Amino acid sequence: MIGRLNHVAIVVPDLAAASRLYAETLGGKVSAPVAQPAHGVTVVFVELPNTKIELLEPLGEGSPVKSFLDRNPSGGMHHVCYEVDDILAARDHLKAEGARVLGDGEPKIGAHDKPVLFLHPKDFCGTLVELEQA
């Protein structure tokens, strides 16, 4: 059911500093920051030959990643994102298998302008999983 790894998301306390680190120290191709108010984050993507790294910074006090950063002030890995061919079929299959879909269970439009869903980390070895329509 899952396809390729789309990205690994890392929450950071300072997006500009993290972007410089990935661009200058690691030599990565880093996108411009994009505010995602619907998701409460500002994101940049680091392009790799086989996937992407998504750097996330909280956007406002109500950001869903703010509590993660409060617990992990230096930042850290937040989630992995896998592509699926049919997000609704994947959701229905996973729910039938007992997995919990976060939120209202309906896909939202993600940072790549494609439908996404998040799966409860307790159902996936302690890892928050994002599914993105390929």
pLDDT at 23 over 90: yes
Point out the catalytic residue in the list 57, 83, 130, 132: 130
Give the mean pLDDT of 5-33.
98
Give the pLDDT confidence score for residue 2 in this predicted structure: 93
Which pLDDT band, with edges at 50, 70 and 90, does 40 fall under? very high
Give the mean pLDDT of 56-72.
94
Q: pTM of this prediction?
A: 0.93
pLDDT at 121 over 90: yes
pLDDT at 57 over 90: yes
* C-beta separation of 10 from 22 below 8 A: no
Tell me the residue type at 120.
H
| CATH code for position 74 | 3.10.180.10
Domain with 79 in it: 2-133
* Total domains in the fold of the chain: 1
* C-beta separation of 64 from 71 below 8 A: no
Q: Is position 130 annotated as part of the catalytic site?
A: yes
pLDDT, one tens digit per residue, over 122-133 is 999 999 999 999
pLDDT at 78 over 90: yes
pLDDT at 27 over 90: yes
Whole-number Å distance between alpha carbons of 131 and 26: 27
Of 25, 43, 27, which is closest to residue 79 (Cα–Cα)? 43
Cα 126 to Cα 26, 38, 39, distances in angstroms: 28, 25, 21
Q: Mark out the alpha helices in 56-113 (DSSP H runs).
A: 66-71, 87-96
Which pLDDT band, with edges at 50, 70 and 90, does 61 fall under? confident
